[in-house]
Structure 1
Amino acid sequence: MHLLGIHHLSAITANAQKNVDFYTKILGMRMVKKTVNQDDPSVYHLFYGDEVGNPGTELTFFEIPRAGHNHNGNNSISTTSLRVPNDEALKYWKNRLDQHDVENEGIVEQFGRNVIPLKDFENQRLILVSDETNHGVSGGTPWERSAAEPNYGIIGLGPIHLTVPDLEPTEAILTKLMGFTIAGEYKHHDTGREVLVYETGEGGTGAELHIHVRTDLPPERLGRGGVHHVAFRVENEEKIRQYLDELNQIGIGNSGFVDRFYFRSVYFREPNGILFELATDGPGFATDEDADHLGESLALPPFLEDRRDQIEQSLKPIDYKP
């Protein structure tokens, strides 16, 4: 596989309104799509990103109102990084997070980069990572109407952290199937444990997985504040279908081809049980909405449009004024 980097990441929230408030009003991301979980249209699926939700900038949330707390542990996507332009931006963000009483660890170093580990209101584990020294996949463009200073704004997803009990089978899938290569290692600033770094495509902050090997943790129990899956960028539908054939040929169970309307996908689990998705760069989020008005109303893919009245009645309205 010739993957281009990280495409998007989907996490769990129990409160759509508070989620929108945190990610748009505090982190200053744009809500580029307000839609529903296509597998359960009774709940929201919210997408945040750069000015138009370019591939590699999309952080998404499924709302599960009765979801219990996430029980952090093994076999998990354990931390999500968000890229900012440079080290100067991190100073701005340190002040902004403190002003909004957002729990954070201050500026620390991780794999030769400055970062700020933080948590959202549901203890979602996040990291702001500086692109000061990035020479890999380019970031996106912050929304000029952001609640945060656009010059320091979030420009995409950064390294995604996985925690697994057994490195070998996950490494085999990453390197022998998905085209990742080892990029280095570092000691985690908090645990002191070694973290292995793998990269794909052009590499850099937008194309890395950081793997923590832990044999002392129970499996994670997914809930609010946890991550459901991570998706990787694929050029187009033709490539998706080629990769699907390859998964089938080597006997890896998968979802088959899935049309998400805004992109095309295939899902599969790597050997430690973490859900991976391959997703195309297009068609994109301006397919059914004007780029100037993304996220302002409920968007439904064509195959759900005839159920709009029923779906809207099941959803609690979100107060969002971009």
Structure 2
Amino acid sequence: MSITTTGLHHVTAIAGDPQRNADFYVRTLGLRLVKTTVNFDDPGTYHLYYGDESGKPGSLLTFFPRPDAPAGRHGTGQATTTSFSVPAESIGWWKDHLAQAGAITGRIVNREGEDIVSFRDPDGLQLALVAHPQGDPRDPWDNGHVPPEHAIRGLHSVTLSVTEEEATANMFADLGLRFTSQDSNRLRFSAGDGGPGAMVDVLVTPNTPRGLVSVGTVHHVAWRAPDEQTQLSWRGELVDRGVEVTSVLDRRYFRSIYFREPGGTLLEAATEQPGFAIDEPLLELGRALKLPPWLEPDREQIEHTLPKLDLPTENNPELV
């Protein structure tokens, strides 16, 4: 198969209150809200994108905030942990910083030669900060709140929980990922050259109940497709393999196709272009509600439906 993704594009999760979500990810984690828009399939719901300065693929964690939705349940058939990459000397700083912010953290552990501290966001989403021993060359976003020498560099990896490994492992091989290591019931697969932003761990837990996707859980995991032509080729190959794949969907900032891996997790292949500066300048990313052209006629109704959201000033420090 010719599908060869180079790594993660983004992870999308479900949040509760959008204001609490923005405050935590901008102020506590020091990420940038690079786009304030809506769920194109449900325009009464925000879609908030957090990442580095410009929202490059591989830096993004996004949310559908649904204040009235029930809490989800972590379990098999979903991505259960989203991990960010931080400098090796920063794990201790982050543990103290998160504790001061009121987040409950786990003890620092070492796995695969990487120091890891786990924690949860205000909605219970399972997160981790990971220090890769070879470092991470990606530039951090400097908003003046988290020192750049400690700041998040982007996504590190995601962990999928499954009841059995073979079919999921075969799917990742079809996506061009290679098996690189195993630690007990945890298998690691890497895309491209591997390293932070290009890894997925598969946690095999046969006796764990099925998860429920709602507030505090991951909705889907997106992998990078270089361009639309390649994405179409990938779609054709997946269909030939008997995988149920959506048509190509216009997400304004990228094009998407969706399908499930055999363990149940919803996956996406998303193009790297056109990016988030297509409808607002870099300095102003995230400041205003942006709608795709086909939803602009409904702007007044959409704005009336959405809950109030005050963007933290740290998101656009040069404009304060």
Look up the equivalent residue of 1:204 and give its one-letter code: G
Which residue of the partner structure matches residue 64 of structure 1? Answer: 66
1:68-107 correspondence runs (5 A): 68-84=70-86, 86-107=87-108
Q: Do the aligned partners of residues 32 and 146 (structure 1) sit closer, same or farther apart at CA in structure 2, a change above 3 Å counting?
A: farther
| Partner SS state of residue 233, structure 1 | strand
CA distance in structure 2 between the aligned counterparts of 1:287 and 1:65, rounded to whole angstroms? 29
Aligned to 1:166: 164
Give how far 1:48 is off: 0.3
Alignment match, 1:182: 179
Q: Give distance in 1, aligned partners of 2:250 and 2:137.
A: 26
Whether the 8 Å CA contact 1:142–1:153 is kept in 2: the answer is: yes
Match runs of 1:70-219 below 5 Å: 70-84=72-86, 86-134=87-135, 140-175=138-173, 177-187=174-184, 194-219=185-210
Query: Structure 1 counterpart of 2:215, which letter?
Result: R
Alpha carbons 2:162, 2:203 under 8 Å: kept: yes
Alignment of 1:279-294 (within 5 A): 279-294=270-285
Match of 2:241 in 1: 250
State the alpha-carbon separation in 1 of the partners of residues 169 and 143 from structure 2.
41
Aligned equivalent of 1:34: 36
Output one character per residue of 1:111-156: Cα deviation in whole Å (capped at 9) or x when no partner: 210111111111110000113324xxx6542222242112211111
Equivalent of 1:266, from 252, 257, 269? 257
Q: Does 1:314 align with 2:305?
A: yes
Secondary structure at 1:243's aligned position in 2?
A: helix
Partner Cα separation in structure 2 for residue 153 and residue 161 of structure 1: 22
State the distance in 2 between where 1:146 and 1:212 align. 36
4+ long deviations beyond 6 Å? none
Residues in 2 aligned to 1:265 and 1:128: alpha-carbon distance in whole angstroms: 27
Quick one: structure 1 residues 283 and 146, their matched pair in 2 at CA, closer, same or farther if it must change by over 3 Å?
A: farther
TM-score, length basis structure 2: 0.94
SS of equivalent residue, structure 1 residue 71: coil
Alpha carbons 1:45, 1:63 under 8 Å: kept: yes
In the alignment, residue 116 of structure 2 is paired with which amino acid? V
The Cα RMSD (Å) is: 1.2
Q: How many percent identity over aligned positions?
A: 39
Give the TM-score normalised by the residue count of structure 1: 0.94
Structure 1 window deviating more from structure 2 (9-18 vs 216-225): it is 216-225
- Kindly tell me: are residues 51 and 204 of structure 1, through their superposed partners in 2, closer, same or farther at Cα, counting changes over 3 Å? same
User: 1:29 touches 1:146 (CA, 8 Å); kept in 2?
Assistant: no
Deviating more after overlay: 65-74 vs 272-281: 65-74
Q: Is the contact made by 1:22 and 1:120 (CA closer than 8 Å) also made in structure 2?
A: yes
What count of residue pairs does the alignment treat as equivalent?
Answer: 311
Q: Counterpart in 1 of 2:5?
A: 3
Partner Cα separation in structure 1 for residue 241 and residue 109 of structure 2 = 42
Provide, for residues 264-315 of structure 1, a one-character-per-residue CA deviation record: whole Å limited to 9, x for no partner. Answer: 1110011121100001111100110100010011011122112111111111
Give secondary structure in 2 for the equivalent of 1:247: helix
Secondary structure at the aligned position of 2:158 is classed as strand
Match of 2:289 among 298, 313, 319: 298
Q: Return 5+ residue gaps in structure 2 as ranges.
A: 316-320
Tell me, in whole angstroms, the C-alpha distance in 1 between the residues paired with 2:137 and 2:158. Answer: 15
The amino acid that maps onto 1:55 is: P
Q: Which runs of 5+ in 1 are unaligned?
A: 188-193
CA distance in 2, matches of 1:139, 1:252: 36
Q: How far apart are 1:201 and its partner, in Å?
A: 1.1
Q: Distance in 2 between matches of 1:126 and 1:262?
A: 25
Match of 2:219 among 228, 243, 246: 228
Preserved contact between residue 82 and residue 156 of structure 1 (Cα < 8 Å): yes
Kept after mapping to 2: 8 A contact 1:83/1:139:
no
Aligned to 1:190: none
Specify the SS of the correspondent of 1:206. coil
Q: For residue 274 of structure 1, what is the amino acid of its counterpart?
A: T
Is the contact made by 2:85 and 2:156 (CA closer than 8 Å) also made in structure 1? yes
